[in-house]
């Protein structure tokens, strides 16, 4: 797994999947971390392309490969592209914790886009609102 993003998305995901805080994280081909309880863990790809979350070499969760584009979001990737990807994910193919993480990310992106506060370029339909971003010009239209 080639990890190219900032650490925060992976840290948040690890904390959510483990149900425990992470105090240190090192990122490379395998992500290594330490939990607040002192457990040492790692996150790396398996032969199927999924990501195995290990604590002391024990697999505690397998994150589906469909989650990787979400977790490895690059800072220069358009937020609108990420939003469309997250919306289009096959939720039925995800396990419970992955579904929850997807919803947290989806809701977060929607709040950001609906706030009309960033200088972005693009448009999206969020519920009954369509938002338009053209750099510094931004507006929303109610669709109902």
Question: 39-70, pLDDT tens digit by residue?
Answer: 999 999 999 999 999 999 999 999 999 998 88
Average pLDDT over residues 76-105: 90
Contact 122, 138 (CB under 8 A): no
Q: What is the pLDDT of residues 21-31, one digit of tens each?
A: 998 888 777 89
| CA-based end-to-end distance of the chain | 43
For a pLDDT cut of 70, what percent of the chain falls above it? 92
* pLDDT tens digits along 91-105: 999 999 999 999 999
């Amino acid at each position: 797994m080639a990890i190219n993003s900032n650490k925060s998305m992976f840290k948040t995901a690890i904390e959510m999947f483990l149900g425990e805080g992470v105090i240190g994280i090192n990122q490379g081909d395998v992500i290594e971390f330490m939990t607040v309880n002192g457990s040492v863990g790692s996150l790396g790809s398996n032969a199927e392309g999924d990501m195995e979350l290990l604590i002391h070499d024990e697999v505690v969760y397998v994150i589906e490969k469909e989650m990787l584009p979400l977790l490895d979001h690059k800072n220069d990737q358009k937020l609108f592209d990420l939003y469309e990807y997250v919306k289009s994910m096959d939720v039925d193919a995800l396990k419970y914790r992955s579904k929850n993480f997807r919803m947290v990310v989806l809701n977060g992106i929607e709040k950001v886009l609906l706030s009309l506060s960033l200088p972005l370029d693009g448009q999206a339909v969020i519920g009954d609102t369509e938002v338009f971003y053209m750099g510094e010009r931004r507006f929303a239209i109610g669709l109902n």
